[in-house]
Amino acid sequence: MISFGLKDVIDILIIAVMLFYIYKMMKSSGTLSLFYGVLIFFVLWVLAAEIFDMRLTGSILDKFMGIGLIVLVVLFQDQIKRFLIDIGSHGRMKYFRRLFRHDERAESRRQDIMAVVYSCMSMSKTKTGALIVFQRKVPLTNYEDTGDLIDADINVRLIENIFFKNSPLHDGAMIIADNKIKSVGCILPVSHDMDIPKTLGLRHRAALGMSQATDAVCIVVSEETGNISVAMEGKFRIKLSAPELEHTLSEALHDID
């Protein structure tokens, strides 16, 4: 007779929560089909090795499982890091951190957001292309190293000068972290999603790719239309006004500490 107790319920809940987080991570990174493939392979392995006791098939699948886990870790190291950071940032851990630390950076963050909003609106009027990335919980050091490190204070004039059409750095991305412009002229991962409208250019694909690989908030000013868009969590918010851009950034960045 098979016994089913509290320990088994907890065991199932743990696996269900892990699968849910992995599903969300794969969905936001545009690799959901790979998630389904891995899940099907895992189910086949359990059926062959554990339930039906198929020794030959089970032993072959065991070898693939050992190698497959290493391959998945190498391929999805950024997503795994993001997954672990999200776990450590949620719920009670975040609450307890706030008990012992006042949010002294709130006003400074608001000023930084407004500087970015003003510069984006100004560049939108002149149809100056721009790509600005706000770091959230996942560190962007690897992407900062692809550009020129400047570690400068955030201000409207500097942002507009960097993305001025004759500037040698205007084609790359600007990365903002810890209330500083950390790096400019950065190279970002490009999304290869087929659902992206053809009217959106390379900057938009880079913004979406960055939002899929990390939890960053990516702002794009279109060089063709002047429209302002935000890519976040693998999704686009297009044609934002100044109040909408300010609200989006404030909501996304209010809990990054």
Task: Provide mean pLDDT across the span 44-48.
Answer: 76
Contact (Cβ atoms closer than 8 angstroms) between residue 167 and residue 127: no
Give the integer Cα–Cα distance in Å for 150 and 139.
Answer: 17
Task: Provide mean pLDDT across the span 102-113.
Answer: 74
Local confidence band at 54 (pLDDT 50, 70, 90 cut-offs):
confident
Local confidence band at 255 (pLDDT 50, 70, 90 cut-offs):
low
Q: Which residue has the higher pLDDT, 1 or 11?
A: 11
Angle between helices 6-28 and 32-46 (to 10 degrees): 150
Chain segment 169-220, per-residue pLDDT in tens: 788 999 999 889 999 999 999 988 777 777 788 899 999 999 988 889 999 9
| 7-16, 56-65, 142-151, 223-232: range with lowest mean pLDDT | 56-65
Contact (Cβ atoms closer than 8 angstroms) between residue 204 and residue 114: no
Contact (Cβ atoms closer than 8 angstroms) between residue 137 and residue 256: yes
